[in-house]
Amino acid sequence: MVSTAEYTIVPITMAHLEDFRSAVDSVAREKKYLSFLEGPPFAMSKAFVEENIKGSWPHVVAIADGAVVGWCDITSLNRPVYAHCGELGIGVIPSSRGKGIGKALMIDALRRAKEKGLERVELTVFEKNVPAIALYQQLGFVIEGKKKSAVKIDGQYDDLICMALRFDDVENEHHDKKILEELKSREPIFHHPDKFGRTEHDILNQICDEFWEVGASGNVYTKEVVLSTLLERYNDPNYKDIWEAKDFALTRIAQDNYLLTYTLIQDKTRLTKRSTLWRRENGAWKILYHQGTVVS
C-alpha cells in the first residue's frame, strides 16, 4: 500500500467495483484518451476485475476522500506466446490530475508486474495525449511504433503510439547510470592523487598492463612515461591543477569495458575532448587507453 496525506494506492477489491466503473466511465466520456467512449457494462467490468484478482494481475486504485480517483491495471494478453507480457491501462479523474497520482499508480503497478515475473509491459496511447506519453517515457517506456489514423473520434483522426517497457532494459540503464557516476568520479584521469593515491603502486593500480595514451599534444605516452611524469607532478609542491570536466557520455563496448568521453578545460583556457577506455578487472576500474584532442 502507498499512502500520502492526499491519497492511498491499494490493490483493487470487489468492494471498489462500482467506484472503479464510475472513474473509468468519467474518463472515457472525455472522449480524448481511452479507446472506449463510455465505461464498459457492469458485467464486463465485474468480469475484468474478478479475472485480475484471480490471476494476480496488477490492478491498483487510488483512493482519495473515500472514492476511487484513479486506476492502473496491467493485464494478460491472453496468448501463451505473450505470457511474459502485460498490457497497461491507466486513468485519473480530471479533478485529481497533476498531483502525482498517475505516476504513483504506475510505479506501484509496474513493481507488481515485475514481482509477478512479467518481462515486458506494453500499451498504446493517442499521439495527442502528451501528458500520458511524458509519464510513460519518464518511467522508462520507449516508443516502438505508430499506427497511423488508427483512432477516429467524432470525425477527428489521431495516430496511435505503441510503447513498451522491458524490465531488463530499465535495469541495464540504471546499471549504466551507476557506472557513469563511478567513472566520472575518477576523471580527469590522474588528477585525483588525494583520492586514488600518489605512489608508484597507487598509479599502477589504476592502469591496465597494456595501457598507453595519446596526449592532446599528439604525442604517444607509454605506461612508463606516464608513471614517471605523474610521480614528478605529484611531488611538485608548485604544481597547479586547475580543471573543469563536463559533457560526460558513456558507451558500453563489451562486458566490463566502457568508453567514457568528455570535455576538459584546463587552466580555464585549454579546451580538449577526452576519451578513456575503462576496464573492470577483478572488481577494480583500470584505464586501458586514453586520448586527448585539442579543440581550442
Ligand X SMILES: CC(C)(COP(=O)(O)OP(=O)(O)OC[C@H]1O[C@@H](n2cnc3c(N)ncnc32)[C@H](O)[C@@H]1OP(=O)(O)O)[C@@H](O)C(=O)NCCC(=O)NCCS
User: Among 283, 205, 198, which Cα is nearest to 232's?
Assistant: 198
Q: How far is the CB of 111 from ligand X (least distance, A)?
A: 15
Q: Which set of grid coordinates corresponds to residue 44?
A: 464486463
Extract the runs of DSSP E, i.e. beta strands, from 76-155: 85-92, 120-126, 142-153
Q: Which of residues 11-30 bind ligand X (CB under 6 A)?
A: 27
Q: Quick one: 24 or 203, whose CB is closer to ligand X?
A: 24
SS3 238: coil
Is 135 a binding residue for ligand X by CB under 6 A? The answer is yes
Is 131 a binding residue for ligand X by CB under 6 A? The answer is yes
What distance in Å separates the CA atoms of residue 91 and residue 70, rounded to the nearest whole number?
5
Given a contact cutoff of 8 angstroms between Cβ atoms, the answer to whether 81 and 126 are in contact is no
Interface size with ligand X, residues (CB under 6 A):
22
Q: Quick one: 28 or 260, whose CB is closer to ligand X?
A: 28
Q: Quick one: 49 or 132, whose CB is closer to ligand X?
A: 132
The window from 17-25, 121-129, 199-207, 282-290 that contacts ligand X (CB under 6 A) reads 121-129
Q: How far is the CB of 20 from ligand X (least distance, A)?
A: 14
Other Cβ atoms less than 10 A from the Cβ of 274: the count is: 20
Q: Which of residues 72-111 bind ligand X (CB under 6 A)?
A: 90-92, 97-103
Q: Quick one: 135 or 180, whose CB is closer to ligand X?
A: 135
Q: Quick one: 85 or 90, whose CB is closer to ligand X?
A: 90
Is 129 a binding residue for ligand X by CB under 6 A? The answer is yes
Give a three-class secondary structure readout of 154-198.
Answer: CCEEEEEEEEEEEHHHHHHHHHHHHHHHHHHCCCCCCCCHHHHCC
What distance in Å separates the CA atoms of residue 255 and residue 242, rounded to the nearest whole number?
34
Q: How far is the CB of 62 from ligand X (least distance, A)?
A: 8
What distance in Å separates the CA atoms of residue 55 and residue 51, rounded to the nearest whole number?
6
- DSSP for residue 84: T
Q: How far is the CB of 92 from ligand X (least distance, A)?
A: 4
Given a contact cutoff of 8 angstroms between Cβ atoms, the answer to whether 255 and 262 are in contact is no
100: left (phi over 0), alpha (psi -120 to 50) or beta: left
Q: Quick one: 41 or 98, whose CB is closer to ligand X?
A: 98
Out of 44, 134, 153, 220, the only residue in the binding site for ligand X (CB under 6 A) is 134
Sign of CA dihedral 37, 39, 41, 46: positive
The window from 51-59, 126-134, 164-172, 221-229 that contacts ligand X (CB under 6 A) reads 126-134
196: amino acid identity, one letter: F
Q: Which of residues 138-197 bind ligand X (CB under 6 A)?
A: 138
Is 33 a binding residue for ligand X by CB under 6 A? The answer is yes
Q: Quick one: 101 or 165, whose CB is closer to ligand X?
A: 101
Name the residues that contact ligand X, by CB under 6 A.
27, 33-34, 90-92, 97-103, 123, 125, 129-132, 134-135, 138
